[in-house]
Amino acid sequence: MSVVGARLTSAPVPGEPGPGKQEGAPRDSHACTIQARPHGQNVAVRRATPYDAIAELYDPWSVSVTEDVGFYLEEARRAGGPVVELGVGTGRIAVPIAADGIRVIGIDSSRGMLEVCARRATLAGVELDLRLGDLLAPAVEERVPLVICPFRSYLHLHTSAERARALTAAHALLTRGGRLAFDVFAPALDDVEETHDRWLEREPGIWERAIWDTRARTLTLTVRGETGEATMALAWIEPDEWRALLEGAGFEVEACYGWFDRSPYAGGEDTVWIARRAR
Ligand SMILES: C[S@@+](CC[C@H](N)C(=O)[O-])C[C@H]1O[C@@H](n2cnc3c(N)ncnc32)[C@H](O)[C@@H]1O
């Protein structure tokens, strides 16, 4: 989800396979299968997923978004794995983590995204455990030291009840003392005014339009490119609300950063959270 207003840097690890992340050439042929676990699948089919229509567009669309990869990789190294990534998408984060020798279980409600992810993992010569499932009820029996939900995937949740349910589900996946790391955003008004209802070319040939509703705190985002088009609904809340939800779900907030360089949050659009399973 390349939302208008995302800060972009030129850090390595592009969205497309590249030698910098050892994603270039196939090594040995690790099979990457996508499992449809009954529990997760039931929830997943309940929801329509716009990502299926843009699965092939997603990597070129998010090619400039690289600033978060090192952050999540560092967290994975610190935890040692295995890592559960909720909303794994095409493996933008999961593949570099797996390439570091850390086992990753990736959950996503879009079969199309998982198929691209499996392809990318094969190309990089890494193995991923990919499962069709939902943020609200991930089909994972294992308990792990780290759950991640990168690139604002929690903005796909629309009510506080859903958010609380998703955080409780993430909490249940963690070993005691384990951590949840995720990032979200809440737009600044000038960003909203600048971009509202305008088609902007995010990448060559890839256009996006944001329709903001600041009362309802929702964003209707359309992305259009040669290989697909989709409209998705996102919803944001303020950092204080995320903090309250995390604490309500049994987490202790260890850090709320304002960016992936771990600078403290100082009132910007982005928040990057590390929350520890306290009980
Ligand atoms: C913005 S993309 C992030 C993908 C990947 N984590 C990354 O950093 O590039 C959001 C992903 O969340 C998935 N997603 C959205 N709602 C979901 C849900 N309720 N359950 C599981 N996955 C969901 C989408 O299919 C999509 O792959």
CATH code for the domain of 250: 3.40.50.150
Q: What secondary structure letter does DSSP report for 263? A: P
Q: What is the pLDDT of residues 138-193, one digit of tens each?
A: 989 999 999 999 999 999 999 999 999 999 999 999 999 999 999 999 999 999 99
5, part of any domain: no
Q: What's the gap in Å between 154 CA and the centre of ligand 1?
A: 8
Structure confidence by residue, pLDDT tens digits, 4-48: 333 322 222 222 222 233 333 333 333 355 665 433 333 444 456
Pairing relation of β-strands 206-213 and 199-203?
antiparallel
Residues 126 and 36: their CA atoms lie apart, in Å, by 20
Mean pLDDT across the stretch 77-81?
95
Question: How many angstroms separate the CA atoms of 221 and 210, rounded?
Answer: 5
20 in any annotated domain:
no
Contacts 24+ apart (CB under 8 A), 156-161: 156/87, 156/232, 156/233, 156/234, 157/235, 158/218, 158/233, 158/235, 159/235, 160/237, 160/241, 160/245
Residue 17 lies in a domain: no
Quick: pLDDT tens for 103-123.
Answer: 999 999 999 999 999 999 999
Residue 196, classified by CB atoms within 10 Å of its CB into exposed (0-12), middle (13-18) or buried (19+), is middle
Identify whether 241 is part of a domain.
yes
Query: What is residue 279's predicted lDDT score, i.e. its pLDDT?
Result: 79
What pTM was estimated for this model as a whole?
Answer: 0.88
Considering the domain boundaries, does residue 108 fall inside one? yes
Q: Is residue 23 lining ligand 1, measured as CB closer than 6 Å?
A: no
The reply to whether 98 falls in a domain is yes
**SS3 (DSSP) at 26:** coil
Q: How far, in Å, CA of 240 to CA of 199, rounded? A: 32
Residue 58 lies in a domain: yes
* Cα–Cα separations (whole angstroms), residue 144 to 54, 79, 133, 178: 30, 9, 17, 7
For residue 153, the CA-to-ligand 1 centroid distance in Å is 5
User: How many structural domains comprise the chain?
Assistant: 1
User: Of the candidates 71, 224, 203, 37, which has an alpha carbon nearest to the alpha carbon of residue 148?
Assistant: 71
In the prediction, which pLDDT does 244 show? 98
Q: Is residue 123 part of a domain?
A: yes
- Mutate which of 58, 83, 108 for ligand 1 pocket (most atoms within 8 A of beta carbon): 108
Give the tokens for residue 59.
Answer: 């990597």
Atom of ligand 1 nearest to the CA of 87: 12
Would you give the distance in Å from CA 136 to the centre of its chain?
A: 14
Structure tokens at 92: 């933008």
Work out whether the CA dihedral 133, 22, 150, 113 comes out positive or negative: negative
Task: Please report, rounded to a whole number, the percentage of residues in the chain having pLDDT higher than 90.
Answer: 81
Q: Which domain holds residue 155?
A: 34-186+237-277
Atom of ligand 1 at shortest range from CA of 88: 6
Distance CA 120, CA 23 (A): 8
- Per-residue pLDDT at 271: 98
Q: Which atom of ligand 1 is nearest to the CA of 49?
A: 25
Distance CA 38, CA 111 (A): 14
Atom 27, ligand 1: residue with shortest CA distance: 89
